């Protein structure tokens, strides 16, 4: 029963914390409600303060999705940018497709080696689009590919994009806006990631937003809504954000290079953000890392339990690596709110949370057999788990409907609501189990990303 009370206390703490994040996110989103109608983003196209951006796309065996990604990047609305595709030793026909489709030719390119990487074999430039470069290098992993892209890049800011992502046309204007207006105070800015499965995409552009028929994919849509609209807005509001998604984030190249670039970890995107916070604090600089909810990058989600399980286990290993590398920050007042609030939150709630939740599920199962007061306790735990999972997920769907409204069909919102209600009954226990397996992978010192299957989401 002592374990049960511990689980109960933990869940009350977590629910209180997430409820606070929900309130902050709601207020912040309502302030920027229908931002497009009031904010003149078009002016950013002509302002001399608008910073040029290097868009880095690490690609390893991305033949299925890379063409749609490049087409979407070529059509974005932004005054000055270059696209750098980094072919990280792909064994499929990714490079050949790019060469043929965009008329790539080898060029002599002086590479400023600011960060150590595997050998670059060749640099190509498109005859059609002069701002499109392709770097062909030896395989070194995603972090190595991004560091190579930074070395090749010309501009003071860079954006990391996954090889299977599709950007909305105005996404860059929106994600760059806080950087442009802050005059150097904001050194990183992240946008939202949404699930492309179920959407209609033609020539690298979202032509119709839709919802997949797969329950697994729908649950991931809800997860992403909760993680981005509720979690990241609340953390960003007080400069506590530790994750800028590797699928869509803009960084100051100077600060990233000074901090050492991307590290060879499974969760290289989070580790870089934590290291930037740490470096900024140690330099006693007043800098911010922010999240902007409206700009969206659409990406393909796993459609099978096998690959989803592999992804979640990897994510949890990546979380541990970032926390372990920067363990000195935990409850260290020298690092301000990052050390006293943000890092402990990710350790206690995000990393250890699955273990406590799994114990809660075991307590509920055992209480059924004991009956009496134990059964009543199990019911209380179950109701709290419903509040923790399903109700907060439903609130995230409401945030989406009240503010950004990416899903235009009422039937899609109804389906999201219905699946939110069922989350605690099947989906959340699965993700809890997979994340606990991720902890076991840490103890077994398992490394590597694991293979992920791509179907492609573009026509």
Domains of the chain: 2-21+345-443 (no CATH), 38-341 (3.90.550.10)
- What does residue 89 show for φ and ψ, rounded to 5 degrees? 65, 40
Residues 243/189, Cβ–Cβ less than 8 Å: no
Asked if pLDDT for residue 128 goes beyond 80, the answer is yes
| pLDDT, the chain, mean | 88
User: Please, which residues bridge with residue 299 across strands?
Assistant: 165, 195
Residue 34 has pLDDT above 90, yes or no: no
Q: Average pLDDT, stretch 371-393?
A: 77
- pLDDT: is 358 or 378 the higher one? 358
Reading the block at residue 413, the tokens are: 């919102």
Query: For residues 3 and 414, which has the higher predicted lDDT (pLDDT)?
Result: 414
Q: What mean pLDDT is predicted for residues 353-364?
A: 88
Residue 24 has pLDDT above 60, yes or no: yes
pLDDT reported for residue 38: 45
Q: Which of 197-201, 370-374, 382-386, 450-454 has the lowest mean pLDDT?
A: 450-454
Cα 86 off chain centre by: 20
What is the arrangement of strands in the sheet containing 186-195, beginning at the earlier edge strand?
104-107, 120-126, 132-137, 81-88, 53-59, 157-161, 248-252, 186-195, 288-299, 165-167
DSSP element (H, E) containing 359: helix 353-370
To which H or E segment does residue 375 belong?
helix 373-386
Q: Where is pLDDT greater, at 228 or 185? A: 185
What is the C-alpha radius of gyration for the chain, rounded to an integer number of angstroms?
22
Residue 452 has pLDDT above 90, yes or no: no
The stretch 355-372 carries a mean pLDDT of: 82
Q: Is the pLDDT of residue 19 over 90?
A: no
Q: Where are the beta strands (DSSP E) in 128-261?
A: 132-137, 157-161, 165-167, 186-195, 200-202, 205-208, 248-252
Residues 20, 23, 26, 29, CA torsion sign: negative
Q: Give pTM, 2 decimals.
A: 0.90
In eight-state DSSP terms, residue 117 is -
42 has a pLDDT exceeding 50: yes
Position 309 scores a pLDDT of 96
- Give the Cα separation of 428 and 122 in Å (integer): 46
What residues have CB less than 8 Å from 55, skipping those under 6 apart? Answer: 73, 81, 82, 83, 84, 158, 159, 161
Per-residue pLDDT at 65: 82
Rounded Cα distance between 15 and 222, Å, is: 18
Instruction: Indicate the range of 232-236, 341-345, 427-431 predicted with least confidence.
Output: 232-236
d(CA 46, CA 37): 19
Looking at per-residue pLDDT, the higher value among 376 and 187 belongs to 187
Q: What is the model's pLDDT at position 107?
A: 95
- Inter-CA distances, 21 with 141, 259, 364, Å: 34, 29, 28
**For the residues 207-221, what does the mean pLDDT come to?**
93
* Confidence (pLDDT) at 456: 56
Assign 1 a pLDDT band (cuts: 50, 70, 90).
low
């Amino acid at each position: 029963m002592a374990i049960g009370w511990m689980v109960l206390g933990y869940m009350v703490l977590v629910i209180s914390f997430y409820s606070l994040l929900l309130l902050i996110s709601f207020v912040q989103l309502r302030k920027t409600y229908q931002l497009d109608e009031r904010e003149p983003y078009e002016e950013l196209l002509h302002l001399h303060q608008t910073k040029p951006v290097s868009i880095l796309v690490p690609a390893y065996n991305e033949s299925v999705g890379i063409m749609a990604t490049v087409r979407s990047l070529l059509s974005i609305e932004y005054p000055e940018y270059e696209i750098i595709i980094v072919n990280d030793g792909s064994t499929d026909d990714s490079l050949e497709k790019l060469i043929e489709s965009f008329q790539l030719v080898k060029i002599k390119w002086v590479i400023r080696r600011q960060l150590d990487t595997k050998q670059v074999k060749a640099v190509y430039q498109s005859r059609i689009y002069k701002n499109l470069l392709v770097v062909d290098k030896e395989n070194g992993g995603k972090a190595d590919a991004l560091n190579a892209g930074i070395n090749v890049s010309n501009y003071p800011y860079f954006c990391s994009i996954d090889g299977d992502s599709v950007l909305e046309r105005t996404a860059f204007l929106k994600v760059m806006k806080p950087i442009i207006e802050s005059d150097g105070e904001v050194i990183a800015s992240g946008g939202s990631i949404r699930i492309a499965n179920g959407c209609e995409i033609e020539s690298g552009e979202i032509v119709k937003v839709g919802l997949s028929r797969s329950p697994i994919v729908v649950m991931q849509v809800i997860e992403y809504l909760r993680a981005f609209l509720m979690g990241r807005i609340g953390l960003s509001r007080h400069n506590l954000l530790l994750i800028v998604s590797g699928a869509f984030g803009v960084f100051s190249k100077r600060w990233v290079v000074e901090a050492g670039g991307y590290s060879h970890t499974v969760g290289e995107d989070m580790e870089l953000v934590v290291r930037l916070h740490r470096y900024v604090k140690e330099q006693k600089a007043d800098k911010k890392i922010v999240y902007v909810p409206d700009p969206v990058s659409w990406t393909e989600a796993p459609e099978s339990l096998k690959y989803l399980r592999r992804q979640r286990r990897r994510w949890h290993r990546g979380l541990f690596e970032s926390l372990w590398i920067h363990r000195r920050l935990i409850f260290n007042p020298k690092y301000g709110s990052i050390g006293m609030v943000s890092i402990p939150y990710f350790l206690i709630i995000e990393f250890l949370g699955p273990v406590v939740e799994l114990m809660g599920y075991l307590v509920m199962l055992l209480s059924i057999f004991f009956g009496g007061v134990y059964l009543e306790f199990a019911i209380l735990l179950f109701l709290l788990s419903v509040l923790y999972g399903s109700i907060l997920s439903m609130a995230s769907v409401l945030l989406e409907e009240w503010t950004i409204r990416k899903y235009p069909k009422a039937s899609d919102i109804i389906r999201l609501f219905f699946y939110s209600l069922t989350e605690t009954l099947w989906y959340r226990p699965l993700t809890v189990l997979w994340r606990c397996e991720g902890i076991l992978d840490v103890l077994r010192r398992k490394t590597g990303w694991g293979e992920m299957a791509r179907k492609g989401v573009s026509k």
